[in-house]
Amino acid sequence: MITNNLLEAENVSLRQQLGTLLHEARQNEDKMRRFDQLERLLIGAGSLLELVRLLLAEYKLAFGLEFVTLALVDRDGEATRILESGLDSGLNSNRACTGLTLLSSPAPLETLYKALRRPFLGAFSEHHRPHFNAPPGAIASVALLPLTRQGELIGSLHFGSADPERYRTGCATDFLERLAEIIAICLESALTQERLKLAGLTDGLTGVQNRRYFEHRYPVEISQARRYKHSLACMFLDIDKFKRINDSHGHQTGDEVLRRVARIIQSQLRAGDTIARYGGEEFVVLLPQSGLHHARQVAERIRSSIEEIRLQAHSGQAIKVTISIGLSMLPDTEQAGQHPQLAERLIAAADQALYQAKNGGRNRVVCAGNLPPGLARNSRWARILRPLRTCVSRLKRVKFYGRPRRQP
């Protein structure tokens, strides 16, 4: 009888152990399934911003975590520019980056992990607090995942739980190590893709955005200006007598002039403004949330700053550079017009104002008035006919068998 009771108790204990093992197996299977689903999403992320959103939002929901934060090493500010560009495009909410920290140096992460480059699981301590934006007592256990590539720390992913048993010292870290490796690879791949995108949207000579980027960007700016009832200014800028600089001093000097002018224009703009090289010696600028008075001040600062620069050709000869600027404003939201038509009229008005600045003696800022519906068509023809008008103007200044008169 005693033997039967012992056997029965042992059977109950074994069934309980088996039940516990089956429960853990099911949990691990479910965890692996969720890991697999999220890994596929990470690998398929189309941008750095989408990847960050998946890590900070989806992982938090999928695993029922109270806190998920991410730190990325961003020495040159490259990730910052990429993420700001994505957020400005209106593709995602600013909340997509809640919990993200961009570090100018890997030093804080090296201090966190020291010589170990493996995930840490254990109780929350005070030296973990800088990596979590959490009130005191909200986190009891943490999992810290170092993200490394080529033996170098590129970031760190942090999980925080209110359950002290969620992450315990000594627990296996196979899943987390694999996750960290995949995240690091995905981050590197996303940054590479973003670099390729930027390369196709950046002017190789001046380093500012190119016309392709501008044509993608200005409909977004106009849409946001109309939606939130913000003002929007557009400037066309053209270096005066640039062909003469190229012909007299060579294309190397002309290239240096373009680079210098681009840097000066950019130095007068805010972080949210857009500058692009439109073509040749022409640049275009968008100033969101800028009224006419402020936009004209910016244009005048650009014009005077360029007028003050003194460049030297390779021959040692001094070069004087000036610029003409045409400025236009987006019509008030009460005025009729769809976004594409408004965009065309805004750009055409700035172009027409630039043409007036050129005709008015150069080295000046001209503001466009209202935008009549026919202006876009007229301005386009003005752009096409501008070289012909220049030729006719020069012919008028030529005497019979004589040379062109110098401009005053």
Domain holding 373: CATH number?
3.30.70.270
267 assigned to some structural domain:
yes
Complete DSSP assignment for 311-347 = EE-TTS-EEE--EEEEEEEPPPTTS---HHHHHHHHH
Same domain, 240 and 379: yes
Instruction: Return the half-sphere exposure (C-beta side, CA atoms, 13 A cut-off) of residue 126.
Output: 0
Q: In this predicted structure, what is the pLDDT of residue 381?
A: 43
Pick the residue with more confidence: 358 or 396? Answer: 358
47 assigned to some structural domain:
yes
Residue 10 burial class via C-beta count within 10 angstroms: exposed 0-12, middle 13-18, buried 19 and up: exposed
23 assigned to some structural domain:
no
Same domain, 259 and 367: yes
**Cβ atoms of 141 and 166 closer than 8 Å:** yes
Same domain, 163 and 270: no
30 assigned to some structural domain:
no
In this predicted structure, the answer to whether residue 45 has a pLDDT above a threshold of 50 is yes
- The tally of domains found in the chain comes to 2
208 assigned to some structural domain:
no
Residues labelled catalytic? 281
Same domain, 145 and 82: yes
Same domain, 340 and 390: yes
Question: Tokens standing for 332?
Answer: 């008030």
In this predicted structure, the answer to whether residue 369 has a pLDDT above a threshold of 60 is yes
**Cβ atoms of 67 and 132 closer than 8 Å:** yes
Same domain, 190 and 218: no
Same domain, 222 and 313: yes
Q: In this predicted structure, what is the pLDDT of residue 268?
A: 94
Q: Quick: pLDDT tens for 47-68.
A: 888 899 889 988 888 888 899 9
51 assigned to some structural domain:
yes
Domain extent for 234: 214-396
Chain centroid, CA 276 distance in Å:
14
- Comparing 104-113, 155-164, 339-348, which segment has the lowest mean pLDDT? 339-348
176 assigned to some structural domain:
yes
Helix (H) or strand (E) holding 278: strand 274-279
Residue 40 burial class via C-beta count within 10 angstroms: exposed 0-12, middle 13-18, buried 19 and up: exposed
Q: In this predicted structure, what is the pLDDT of residue 88?
A: 52
Q: How many CB atoms lie within 10 A of CB 43?
A: 12
In this predicted structure, the answer to whether residue 204 has a pLDDT above a threshold of 70 is yes
Choose one of 167, 200, 233: the last residue of a domain. 200
- Write the CB contacts of 150 (distance below 8 Å, at least 6 apart in sequence): none
In this predicted structure, the answer to whether residue 375 has a pLDDT above a threshold of 80 is no
Same domain, 224 and 335: yes
